[in-house]
Amino acid sequence: MNKFLKSFQMGEENYLPHVSIDCVIFGLTDNSLNALLLKVTGTESWVLPGGYVEKDESIEDAALHVLKSRTGLTDIYLKQFMTTGNSERSFPDDVRRICESLGIEWTEGHWANKRFISICYYALIDVNKFKPTGGELEQEYQWVDIHNLPQMLMDHDNILRKGYEALKENLGNHPIGINLLPDKFTMPELQKMYEIILDKTLERSHFQKKMLRFDIFRRLEERREGVPHKRPFLYRFDENKYQNELKKGARFDV
């Protein structure tokens, strides 16, 4: 039996009570922003990757564990965006379904039935690096277009929407979207990323000038090869330049 299941069954000893972690893992495909969802076996319902906080573990480490176990990635952009906790926030029926799908015994008094406060993070990953390995649970997973969500358990659809709102707000002020792209990317790719997330078209010429005015990217000698038409230049994010601009009080509004 894997580590998570063992830990889950001893939840009352291992975890902080009443506290859970939920992660919205965002990844970009050609034309949509997607979230990584897990299928609850034997049902048509989906959940966000989530977990609990071990008693000697920080909440951020708990979120990183969730990401590591689902994506196989360790160096991930992670942002806490909300903590939700109404007094009615308990889901015994959904917990029962999840227990059944994992082959775990469920009782009315199960610790996971209690009221939970959920600390919510979103993560931005480059789907090309994504390796659905190290999975502690061999659940079915799927990248789902955030504008076309399936039925989800608990209040996970709400958490996902709030995470998307937070991402949009953040992207308007900081160049965090590069975390969704490969290390080397082109201006048209960068633009498409903004367009997909902000859900509006941007003017090509103006976009390029604005981005280059930020002075946080370095143009490489290479161009993107193997594409039709004129081959666009590759750029790389320059952390030093970025820190310099930050110090100067620059803004990165789009």
Partner DNA sequence: GCAAAAGTGTTTGATATACACCCATGC
Partner DNA sequence: GCATGGGTGTATATCAAACACTTTTGC
Binding site for a copy of itself (CB under 8 A): 16-19, 53, 55-59, 61, 80, 82-87, 115, 117, 119, 169, 172-173, 251, 253
State the alpha helices, DSSP H only, in 72-155: 92-102
d(CA 65, CA 68): 5
Site string for DNA, 127-166 (x = CB under 7 A): ----------------------------------------
Among 69, 186, 196, 216, contact with DNA (rule: CB under 7 A): 186
Question: CA-to-CA distance for 17 and 122, rounded, in angstroms?
Answer: 22
Nearest to 25 by CA among 75, 65, 78: 78
Q: How far from chain centre, in Å, is Cα 173? A: 18
Compute the distance between CA of residue 55 and CA of residue 100 in angstroms, rounded to an integer.
26
Q: Which does 41 bind (CB under 5 to 8 A by kind): DNA, a copy of itself, none?
A: none
* Nearest-approach distance from CB 201 to a copy of itself, in angstroms: 13
Least separation, in Å, of the C-beta of 82 and a copy of itself? Answer: 7
Which partner, a copy of itself, DNA, none, binds residue 187 by CB below 5 to 8 Å per kind?
Answer: DNA
Q: Is position 208 an interface residue for DNA (rule: CB under 7 A)?
A: yes
Instruction: Say whether residue 172 binds DNA (CB under 7 A).
Output: no
User: Quick one: what does residue 106 bind among a copy of itself, DNA, none, with the CB cut-off 5 to 8 Å set by partner type?
Assistant: none
Least distance in Å: CB of 22 to a copy of itself? 12
Strand partners, 84: 118
122: which 2 tokens?
């979103």
- Is residue 228 part of the contact set for DNA (CB under 7 A)? yes
Q: Which residues fall within 8 angstroms of residue 109, CB to CB, at 6 or more apart?
A: none
φ, ψ for residue 151, nearest 5 deg: -65, 135
DSSP state at residue 11: H
Judged by beta carbon, residue 82 or residue 95, the one nearer a copy of itself is 82
**Whether 40 contacts 46, CB under 8 Å:** yes
> Is the CB of 30 or the CB of 88 nearer to a copy of itself?
88
Nearest CA to 191 out of 205, 124, 164 is that of: 205
- State the nearest-atom distance from the C-beta of 20 to a copy of itself, in Å: 11
Nearer to a copy of itself, 82 or 152 (CB): 82
User: Could you say which of DNA, a copy of itself, none residue 208 binds, taking C-beta under 5 to 8 angstroms by partner kind?
Assistant: DNA
Binding partner of 147, given a copy of itself, DNA, none, CB within 5-8 angstroms per partner class: none
**Residue the block writes with tokens 């893992």:** 25
In b/e form, how buried is each residue of 132-144, taking b as 16+ CB within 10 angstroms?
eeebbbebebebb
Does the protein bind DNA through residue 206 (CB under 7 A)?
yes
Question: Which spans of this chain sit near DNA (rule: CB under 7 A)?
Answer: 186-188, 203-206, 208-210, 213, 223, 226-233
